[in-house]
């Protein structure tokens, strides 16, 4: 199923930061706002303390006046350099590392020393590659090679080797056997208005590599990096958290260097109480922070989201982010194919966290936009998993989320619950794959679908590429070029009968950062279902396919920061309409609202430092 970040997404994020216009205009009438990333920055440190702070450290780029004001003479070489010169040196150091894991470790070390340089060197690295390469294929090859260092698969390797690579802690580590220290631990990261965005994981299901215990802190860190790159969330106002509940990974338990709790995972009441104590303590310590749940286990992810989404502003990217981006692509495809939402029939093949998250978002949107009940909207969706079509007689085998989509047994014999039979009987407009079962969308199944609808909408979303339910080129061939396709990994355009079709990638990073930005800036009390629908509509409105059906169903993530502004604006407007926004002074007009948002988005650049607390 689609991940929030992929090896091929990251280049586009970096390219976005290269080519997008400045989001922090010091002349903006909103440059006075507390989160505006322009003007002087108050630094409470002196001497070595300044150099040890990743937020304030400029290394060799400190100008003469700041070296005097902050007592840095003698602590730095005398030559004053520019940020561009630092980037050049950092990129050379990065390039000299022997393998991808060493490069990943180098970047992590840089982040701990100087966050501006860390965020700046990455797009600059891609700029240098593009400067020296002229063949598009070579550019793509090198970009993919480098971006795999930043995230999957190398980030997965870093998480698996977390305890062996450990140098300096980053984030907050909470221990299920010491819940009385939760509040004290969180207080180390500030209070009140110091934190805007929290990503928390218990590490049970990480990046397709399963239970990684305390190493999950790195997935929380990585998701926050993406919110900064894609939506300008201030890195100094973020908090990565890991809930160490033990691990069922026997390799970790047997590793004498493992840094987490050396015990099997806690379940049941003790686990629920630990999660609740974290949530309540976080709300007391950071009363306006937005909490993003990441990579929780299948049995806990939805249950936790259901418990807290009516109490606090929170979000689960595996459930809601995946659902939002897929739904945006689906709505664009329905508009292209002239099918009304209230008439749409959807089959989802693979009903785990991602599949049911997509089903839930589709049902919620049908209910919101057509005024149907949620139950009636759910009847437009057929979910298939390992036992076949989900039916009510499966009982306790079904998760809470799956039960909403289980069909009556008397309508379906045991012999017609496979994918081919369901397609033949349902005649779906939309087929979505989140099964990780390669080749599951067979030629017979797709041709059966194409016999009954004019423009089959087919989304093989499992990733990596080798796990896709079908290849785009086959889908166009089997439907005579009529299919509308989106995938969970990047694919080259398909040429069929002389027509080139561009393939959309359903990637959460076009959506969740903008949603989070809207939540942070509106200071919303809750993340409502209508706010998510507004985000989906904003993303769908950017679909190139609405102007040319041969174009992709989703916008290119190269423009992700601009997309994030529009999604954030839609979320904020909806929060205001629903009475959920707590921030004063939100502009009424669209143009002013977008300027207000842009003024508060962080960019990688050194700001003048002034002394103070």
Domains of the chain in sequence order: 9-151 (1.20.1370.30), 168-312 (3.40.50.10380), 320-506 (3.40.50.720), 510-599 (3.40.50.10380)
pTM (2 d.p.): 0.87
Q: Which residues does residue 383 pair with via DSSP β-bridges, in sequence order?
A: 348
Q: Is 316 a known ligand-binding residue?
A: no
Pair of tokens at residue 534: 């507004």
Q: Is 496 tagged catalytic? A: no
- The answer to whether the beta carbons of residues 348 and 422 sit under 8 Å apart is no
Q: Is 151 tagged catalytic? A: yes
Quick: pLDDT tens for 123-170. 544 443 333 333 332 222 223 333 333 444 445 567 888 888 887 888
Cα–Cα distance for residue pair 16/594, rounded to 1 Å:
18
Cα–Cα distance for residue pair 482/232, rounded to 1 Å:
39
* Catalytic-labelled residue, pool 223, 540, 551, 566: 223
Quick: pLDDT tens for 368-407. 899 899 999 999 999 999 999 999 999 989 988 899 999 9
User: Given this model, what pLDDT does residue 36 score?
Assistant: 86
* Catalytic-labelled residue, pool 118, 119, 151, 162: 151
Element (H, E) at 328: helix 322-337
HSE on the CB side for 40, CA within 13 Å? 8
Q: Is 463 a known ligand-binding residue?
A: yes
Asked whether the predicted pLDDT for residue 45 surpasses 70, the reply is yes
**Exposed/middle/buried for residue 459 (C-beta within 10 Å: 0-12, 13-18, 19+):** buried
How many degrees, rounded to 5, is the angle at CA 601 between CA 595 and CA 606?
120
Pair of tokens at residue 540: 């769908």
- The answer to whether the beta carbons of residues 25 and 38 sit under 8 Å apart is yes
Mean pLDDT of the chain: 87
Q: Is 248 a known ligand-binding residue?
A: no
Pair of tokens at residue 374: 């949620």
Q: Is 294 a known ligand-binding residue?
A: yes
Please compute the mean of the pLDDT values over residues 509-530 and round it to a whole number.
96
Q: Provide, rounded to the nearest whole percent, the portion of the chain with pLDDT above 90.
A: 68
User: Given this model, what pLDDT does residue 11 score?
Assistant: 38
Per-residue confidence band for 25, with pLDDT thresholds at 50, 70 and 90:
low
Q: Is 513 left (phi over 0), alpha (psi -120 to 50) or beta?
A: alpha
């Amino acid at each position: 199923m689609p991940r929030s970040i992929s090896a091929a997404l990251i280049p586009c994020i970096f390219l976005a930061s290269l080519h997008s216009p400045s989001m922090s205009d010091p002349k903006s009438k909103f440059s006075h706002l507390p989160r505006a990333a322009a003007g002087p920055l108050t630094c409470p440190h002196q001497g070595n303390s300044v150099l040890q702070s990743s937020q304030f450290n400029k290394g060799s780029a400190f100008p003469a006046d700041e070296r005097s004001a902050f007592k840095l003479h003698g602590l730095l070489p005398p030559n004053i350099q520019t940020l561009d010169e630092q980037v050049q040196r950092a990129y050379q150091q990065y390039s000299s590392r022997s393998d991808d894991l060493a490069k990943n470790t180098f970047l992590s070390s840089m982040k701990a020393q100087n966050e501006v340089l860390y965020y700046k060197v990455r797009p600059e690295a891609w700029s240098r590659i593009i400067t020296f390469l002229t063949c598009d294929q070579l550019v793509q090859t090198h970009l993919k090679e480098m971006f795999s260092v930043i995230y999957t698969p190398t980030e997965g390797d870093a998480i698996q080797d977390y305890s062996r690579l450990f140098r300096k802690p980053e984030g907050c580590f909470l221990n299920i056997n010491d819940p009385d220290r939760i509040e004290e631990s969180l207080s180390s990261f500030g209070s009140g208005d110091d934190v805007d965005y929290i990503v928390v994981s218990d590490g049970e299901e990480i990046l397709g590599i399963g239970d990684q215990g305390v190493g999950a802190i790195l997935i929380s860190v990585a998701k926050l990096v993406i919110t900064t790159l894609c939506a300008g969330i201030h890195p100094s106002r973020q908090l990565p958290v890991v809930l160490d509940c033990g691990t069922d990974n026997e390799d970790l338990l047997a590793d004498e260097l493992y840094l987490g709790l050396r015990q099997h995972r806690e379940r049941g009441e003790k686990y629920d109480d630990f999660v609740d104590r974290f949530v309540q303590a976080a709300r007391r310590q950071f009363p306006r922070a937005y909490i993003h749940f990441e990579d929780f286990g299948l049995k806990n992810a939805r249950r936790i989201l259901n418990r807290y989404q009516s109490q606090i502003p929170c979000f689960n990217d595996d459930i809601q982010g995946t659902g939002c981006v897929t739904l945006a692509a689906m709505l664009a495809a329905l508009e292209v194919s002239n099918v009304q939402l209230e008439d749409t029939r959807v089959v989802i093949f693979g009903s785990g966290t991602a599949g049911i998250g997509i089903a839930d978002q589709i049902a919620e949107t049908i209910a919101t936009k057509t005024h149907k009940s949620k139950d009636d909207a759910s009847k437009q969706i057929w979910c298939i998993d390992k036992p076949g079509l989900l039916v009510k007689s499966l009982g306790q085998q079904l998760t809470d989320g799956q039960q909403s989509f289980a069909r009556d047994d008397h309508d379906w014999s045991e012999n017609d619950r496979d994918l081919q039979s369901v397609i033949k009987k349902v005649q779906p407009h939309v087929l979505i794959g989140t099964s990780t079962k390669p080749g599951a969308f067979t030629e017979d199944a797709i041709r059966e679908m194409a016999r009954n609808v004019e423009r089959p909408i087919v989304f093989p979303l499992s990733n990596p590429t080798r796990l896709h339910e079908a290849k785009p080129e086959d889908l166009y061939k089997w439907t005579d070029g009529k299919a509308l396709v989106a995938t969970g990994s990047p694919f080259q355009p398909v040429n069929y009968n002389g027509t080139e079709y561009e393939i959309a990638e359903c990637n959460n990073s076009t959506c969740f950062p903008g949603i989070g930005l809207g939540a942070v800036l509106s200071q919303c009390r809750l993340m409502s279902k209508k706010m998510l629908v507004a985000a989906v509509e904003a993303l769908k409105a950017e679909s190139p396919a609405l102007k040319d059906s041969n174009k992709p169903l989703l916008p290119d993530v190269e423009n992700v920061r601009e997309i994030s502004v529009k999604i954030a604006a839609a979320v904020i407007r909806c929060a205001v309409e629903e009475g959920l926004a707590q921030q004063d002074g939100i502009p009424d007009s669209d143009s002013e609202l977008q300027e207000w948002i842009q003024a508060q988005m962080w960019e990688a650049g050194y700001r003048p430092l002034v002394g103070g607390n």
